[in-house]
């Protein structure tokens, strides 16, 4: 049950695009198309931004997109805005009928 691997921090200027990677194994990200991404602002509960690798829930901006290659999922945010500054977590269902999260990535909008 090792955590998925994410970069600790990323940054970008308003209007730019950034990507956050999430590396797992063949027992989690590589096994299913159940990678998801969550945004968490300080003191708030997480909010799902991407599910099933690349699907956006209703109400989430189309500036957020997801993809997967092998055991690595990625979140891309285009047209960065100040309100995108937050912590981002990936997650995946696993072959052990459990879930695993990434360690989190702090996004700073410069």
Partner 1 sequence: EVQLVESGGGLVQPGGSLRLSCVASGFSFSSYWMHWVRQAPGKGLVWVSLIKNEGITTNYADSVKGRFTISRDNAKNTVYLQMNGLRAEDTAMYYCAKTSAGVFGIWGQGTMVTVSS
Contacting positions for partner 1 (CB under 8 A)? 1, 3, 32, 34, 36, 38, 40, 45-48, 51-52, 57, 87, 89, 91-93, 96-104
Q: What is the C-alpha separation between 93 and 108, in angstroms, rounded?
A: 28
User: Nearer to partner 1 by C-beta: 10 or 48?
Assistant: 48
On whether the CB atoms of residues 71 and 23 are closer than 8 A, the answer is yes
Least distance (Å) from partner 1 to the CB of residue 36?
Answer: 4
Least distance (Å) from partner 1 to the CB of residue 14?
Answer: 26
Q: What is the C-alpha separation between 42 and 20, in angstroms, rounded?
A: 19
User: Nearer to partner 1 by C-beta: 44 or 79?
Assistant: 44
On the CB side of 70, CA atoms within 13 Å amount to: 5
On the CB side of 54, CA atoms within 13 Å amount to: 4
Least distance (Å) from partner 1 to the CB of residue 47?
Answer: 8
């Amino acid at each position: 049950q090792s955590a998925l691997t994410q970069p600790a921090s990323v940054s970008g200027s308003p209007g730019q695009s950034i990507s956050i990677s999430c590396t797992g194994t063949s027992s989690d990200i590589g096994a299913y198309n159940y990678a998801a991404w969550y945004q968490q602002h300080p003191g708030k509960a997480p909010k799902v931004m991407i599910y099933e690798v690349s699907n956006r829930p209703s109400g989430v901006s189309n500036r957020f997109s997801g993809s997967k290659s092998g055991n690595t999922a990625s979140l891309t945010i285009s047209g960065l805005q100040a309100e995108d500054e937050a912590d981002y977590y990936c997650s995946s269902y696993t072959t052990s009928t459990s879930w695993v999260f990434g360690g989190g990535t702090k996004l700073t909008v410069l």
